Amino acid sequence: MGLDEPTFTIGIEEEYLLVDLETRDLASDPPAELMTLCQDALADHVSPEFLRCQIEVGTPVCSSIAQARQELTHLRSTIAEVAGKFGLAPIAASTHPFAEWDRQHHTDKERYNALAQSMQVVAQRLLICGMHVHVEIADDDMRIDLFNQLTYFLPHLLALSTSSPFWRGHKTGLKSYRLSVFNELPRTGLPQQFDSASEYDRTIGILVKAGVIEDATKVWWDLRPSARFPTIEMRISDVATRVEDTLTIAALYRCITRMLWRLRRGNQRWRQYSGFLVAENRWQAQRHGTSGELVDFGKGECVPFAELIEELIDLTREDAEYFDCVAEVERARDIVRDGTSADRQLEIFDKVVASGASQTEAFQSVVDFLVSETRRDC
């Protein structure tokens, strides 16, 4: 290992929705004791989110996917156990199948009060959850260089994660409707490209000096240099319902990052493509998930996602072996074969409706599935 090789340590953050086990609707006003008990058990690895029906967890810094699995399963199982005392349960899905955003209440916290005041109805509609993965790259300029190249792979990671096919009791026709809601906020979407860390700092500094934002935490791109840690934070993905899907996405992102570092070490780099082109693949992934195609810009052709995943597995094999996560990376094939959470939610809904049940009953069945799958393998 070269002396200058980054640690590539990882951290995973997940956001969950709290549902009432009797009605299957969101718990718009969960008891304050729930958060107190969660914090007693998990300390600063759990926190409230913008809406009171949400809860966020974050792993410690992890040196391996095996450690991340242990931490994440502990976090999920603890939240589920505490919520169960109040007749509630967490679901790892980026939208609730039928809940109404205008019936939710935001958390009474200075940061969230300011966000609600600043963004108005755009913030009130944020009834969505995501999953963020941090990979540590300590060197500032190397972090920006790899950050620029990682953008190309964001649609691939999104496709594997999709879990938001419904919105307010409607099929959206998208596998990740969450992004459509999130896109209404400023400073979202694909990130800009920067020549250096100093250029990035100057750019953010202009908005800070102007008083538009307090700091870089108010930049919500699909990928960003973290404002709190020396990491590149991948934010495009939906929250995956199955823990094992989360770990596959995290492992693949980590391996892609190291693969790009290996190119840099050999005085090479991934070819840069315009944001316009990458945005098209972002849309294709959002619309179709793993069942669709993405554009291979070099060939100028649409290629089935299943083929692209095989290429990505081969491309990162050396890195998966280095990190001892070959099984997790290769499990991306299982996600393509079996479908994402969005695919399974749609399948359950259609099956229940076809059996003669009402749409209300079908949506409740989807919530039951999400409750069960969130705790699967935990």
Q: What is the pLDDT of residues 209-239, one digit of tens each?
A: 999 999 999 999 999 999 999 999 999 999 9
- Judge if pTM exceeds 0.75: yes
Query: Cβ neighbours of residue 131 under 8 Å, at least 6 residues apart?
Result: 12, 13, 14, 15, 161, 237, 238, 239, 240, 246, 249
- Evaluate if residue 298 carries a pLDDT over 60: yes
Residue of 12, 15, 27 whose CA lies nearest to 367: 27
Q: Are 135 and 257 in contact (CB under 8 A)?
A: yes
Of 71, 50, 51, 52, the residue nearest 62 (C-alpha): 71
Give ∠ CA 188-191-192 in degrees, rounded to 5: 125
> Is the confidence at residue 249, as pLDDT, over 50?
yes
Question: Percent of the chain beyond pLDDT 70?
Answer: 97
Per-residue pLDDT averaged across 331-350, rounded? 98
Q: Using alpha carbons only, give the angle 44, 46, 51 rounded to the nearest 5 degrees.
A: 130
Domains and CATH numbers, the chain: 10-374 (3.30.590.20)
**Phi, psi dihedrals of residue 225, rounded to the nearest 5°:** -70, 125
Question: What is the predicted pLDDT for the residue at 246?
Answer: 98
Residue 183 has phi, psi (to 5 degrees) of -65, -15
Crossing angle between the packed helical segments 140-150 and 197-209, to the nearest 10 degrees = 90
- On average, the pLDDT of the chain sits at 94
| The pLDDT value given to residue 116 | 66
Q: Residue 186 carries which DSSP code?
A: S
Structure tokens belonging to residue 69: 């699995």
What's the pLDDT at 354?
97
Question: Which has more pLDDT, 52 or 3?
Answer: 52
| φ, ψ of residue 49 in degrees (nearest 5) | -115, -175
Residue 339: C-alpha distances to residues 37, 54, 162 (Å): 35, 25, 9
**Tens digit of pLDDT for each residue in 75-119?**
999 999 999 999 999 999 999 999 987 777 776 677 777 776 777
Q: How far apart are CA 307 and CA 293, in angstroms?
A: 9
Q: Kindly state the average pLDDT of the residues 171-187.
A: 95
